[in-house]
Amino acid sequence: MNTGEYSATALYEQARGGVFQLDPAVARECAAHFLRFADLLDPQVEQSARIQALGGFGGFDSARQLRRGFESKAAELTATLTTLQGCALRMAAAYLLAAGLILDTDETHSRALLSARAGL
C-alpha cells in the first residue's frame, strides 16, 4: 500500500528548500485538511491497537493459529494507520513551512514525531 511517505517527504523538502511556496492563508487551509484527517485516524489507531491481543479462540492449535493471524493483521493495520497519520501530519507541516509559518510547522512536525513514536 502506498501510504504517501515519499510524497510527504518530498513536498516537505521542497518547502524547506524554498522551491515550494504558498500564501499563508492558503497554506493554513490546506494544512487544516491534513490535520483533520490525522485527527480522524486517532480512534482507528487506538481501536486497532486494542485488538492486537484477542481471547476466546479456545485451546486447539488451529484456534491459536487463527488468533495469531488476526492479531498479526491488527498489528499491520495499526502500523499502516500510524504511517498514514504521520504522512498527513508531514503534509500539513510542508504546507505551513511553504508559507514560512515556522512555529506552526514546528508544532505540526512535533505532533508527527509523537504519532510515529506512539505507533512503535
Number of domains in the chain: 1
In a domain, 2, yes or no: no
In a domain, 51, yes or no: yes
- Residue 60: how many other CB atoms lie within 10 Å: 9
- Tell me how long the chain is: 120
CA proximity to 22, closest of 74, 83, 97, 99: 99
What does the pLDDT look like over 21-78, one tens digit per residue? Answer: 999 999 999 999 999 999 999 999 999 998 888 888 888 888 889 888 988 999 999 9
CA distances from 91 to 14, 23, 65 (A): 11, 16, 39
Whole-number pLDDT of residue 117:
59
- Residue 34: how many other CB atoms lie within 10 Å: 22
In a domain, 114, yes or no: yes
In a domain, 64, yes or no: yes
Whole-number pLDDT of residue 103:
67
What does the pLDDT look like over 69-118, one tens digit per residue? Answer: 988 999 999 999 999 998 999 999 999 999 988 767 777 767 766 666 56
Please give the residue range of the domain that contains residue 52.
7-14+22-118
CA–centroid distance for 20 within its chain: 22
In a domain, 1, yes or no: no
pTM of the predicted protein model: 0.79
